[in-house]
Amino acid sequence: MIKLITDYSGIDDLDVMVYQSRVSKIHNNLIGEDTYSENLGWFDYPNTISEKEIEKIETYSEEIVKNSDVLIVIGTGGSYIGSRSVIEALKYNFYYQIYEDSKIPKIYFLGYNLSDSYVEDLLKVLENKEVSVNVISKSGSTIETVLAYTVIEEFMKKKYGDSYKDRVYITTSMTSGPLRELAIREGIKSLDIPNKIGGRYSVLTPVGLLAMAVSGINIRKVLKGASEQISLLESAELTENPAYLYAVMRNILYKNGKQIELLVTYEPKLRFFSEWWQQLFAESEGKDGKGLFPTYAFFSTDLHSLGQIIQDGKRNLFETVLMINESDSKVRIENIDEVFGRYSSLEGKNIGDINKMVFESTIAAHSENGIPNIILEVKRLDEERIGALIYFFLRAVSMSGILLGVNPFNQPGVEIYKRKLRERFK
């Protein structure tokens, strides 16, 4: 489902293979749930999520679709970017426009910022709309989430009186925290975030699944794609496990002095998926003074800008290209005006074919210049494949982090700013 092409990486097979015994050992540790047993809830979750839980998500989703023009999803960090990335990747490029006349609720995200103007503008958008709310926080006390919920709760109470509760869905720890308390006290519907799954590993749990379902995505297919990916990554052998191979290649490039990994996509609708990928790798690996800095670029526009620094700047980066190889290209170039004579050979070609030529030219230009390129090829963007891609990266980052010598499941650095902030509240 996901093909890893190593030809342009500049990495020697022998350098990869010396990692095999370490990789096998870490793999056994992961499947044995030994060292990291408190953090591996995501490992088999697509296989073990219960039919009852899926049905509950689907029921809530149907309810929301039936009685809402808008779903507000309140969350930040891992409780925000996952579902947004999948929805924007799978639903159209012009999601909000194409949906204008449709019955499917528009989904707006809140709580991922504390911008006054953002909140104000959202409240304007909500005027005269039927609204439901999904508030997501594992701890149940994330500050941005609590503040956003406080604003929206007031809005909902004004609009719906006491029955506002029927339009709220809480996704939080199954056992504790203020949001769980609130759900119990008020009888608000809720979904569980399993205890052993951290925020950035949670997109394939109810955290991400409810909003996906509301947007019209078939979440069973997303989970199926992830499950299939679990089988495909069963072996610890680097020749058979592309997620581990990707992790090893990143480690080799890091040790060779690379400081930046640039995720390259050619699809504008992968903008938020790139952000999801960035936060997954940054938060999992960026600790103890270590870690590649993960960032992203959108080709072809960035070939006209960032392209300069990639080609010709410091030799401190490599590219990971996520190439979607859609085969069902439909937009043909007909009748190029004669003033554009130099392009006349492109007449009759599809846009997708030309995109592939740009991709190939770029790989050639960059790799000939010594910029390592790792290529991940996927046939198309659909529900199964996005589930597979997510799971692929979850497995890759956990292997990669452990190879780097850090704990890929904690985030001690995030806590420091939170502590500083709490001091100011007193």
CB of 20 to a copy of itself, least distance (A): 27
> By CB under 8 A, is residue 176 in contact with a copy of itself?
no
**Nearest distance in Å: CB 385, a copy of itself:** 14
Q: Give the Cα separation of 45 and 206 in Å (integer).
A: 11
> Which residue in 7, 17, 114, 240 binds a copy of itself (CB under 8 A)?
114
Residue 317 pairs in a beta bridge with 260
336 near a copy of itself, rule: CB under 8 A: yes
* Residues 359-388: x where in contact with a copy of itself by CB under 8 A, - otherwise, as a string: -xxx-xxx--x-----------x-------
Segment interacting with a copy of itself (CB under 8 A) among 3-11, 60-68, 231-239, 286-294: 286-294
> Which C-beta is closer to a copy of itself: that of 5 or that of 336?
336
> 272 and 424 in contact (C-beta within 8 Å)?
no
CA–CA separation, 187 vs 170, rounded Å?
10
Long-range contacts at 116-123 (CB < 8 A, ≥ 24 apart): 119/148, 119/151, 122/72, 123/151, 123/155
The catalytic residues are 283, 304, 418
Least Å distance, CB 343 to a copy of itself, is 6
Name the token pair of 294: 């993960």
- Residue whose C-alpha is closest to residue 132's, from 211, 53, 52, 220: 211
Nearest distance from C-beta of residue 325 to a copy of itself, angstroms: 11
CA–CA gap between residue 336 and residue 257 (Å, rounded): 46
The residue among 231 and 335 lying less far from a copy of itself, judged by its C-beta, is: 335
Are 134 and 171 contacting, i.e. CB atoms less than 8 angstroms apart?
yes
* 319 contacts a copy of itself (rule: CB under 8 A): no
When the beta carbons of 49 and 396 are compared against a copy of itself, the nearer one is: 396
> Looking at the chain, how many residues does it have?
426
Which of the ranges 159-167, 188-196, 238-246, 418-426 carries the binding residues for a copy of itself, by CB under 8 A? 418-426
Q: Is 77 in the site for a copy of itself (CB under 8 A)?
A: yes
Token pair, residue 29, equals 């540790």
> Of 31-39, 49-57, 164-172, 298-306, which part binds a copy of itself (CB under 8 A)?
298-306
> By CB under 8 A, what part of segment 252-281 binds a copy of itself?
259-260, 266-269, 278-280
Which residue of 5, 54, 125, 230 would you call a contact of a copy of itself, by CB under 8 A? 125
Is there binding between residue 106 and a copy of itself (CB under 8 A)? yes
34, 44, 240, 288: which one contacts a copy of itself (CB under 8 A)?
Answer: 288
Distance set, CA 184 to CA 41, 42, 79, 149, 170 (Å):
24, 26, 21, 17, 10
311 binds a copy of itself per the rule CB under 8 A: yes
Among residues 22, 189, 196, 315, the one that binds a copy of itself under rule CB under 8 A: 315
Residue showing tokens 């949906």: 99
Is 117 an interacting residue with respect to a copy of itself (CB under 8 A)?
A: yes
Say how many residues touch a copy of itself, by CB under 8 A: 130
Measured over the CA atoms of residue 373, residue 379, residue 381 and residue 385, the dihedral's sign is negative
With CB under 8 A as the contact rule, the residue among 3, 301, 348, 405 that binds a copy of itself is: 301
Which residue, among 191, 189, 212, 181, has the nearest Cα to 71 in the 3D structure? 212
Q: Which of 30, 58, 70, 224 is nearest to 156 (CA)?
A: 70
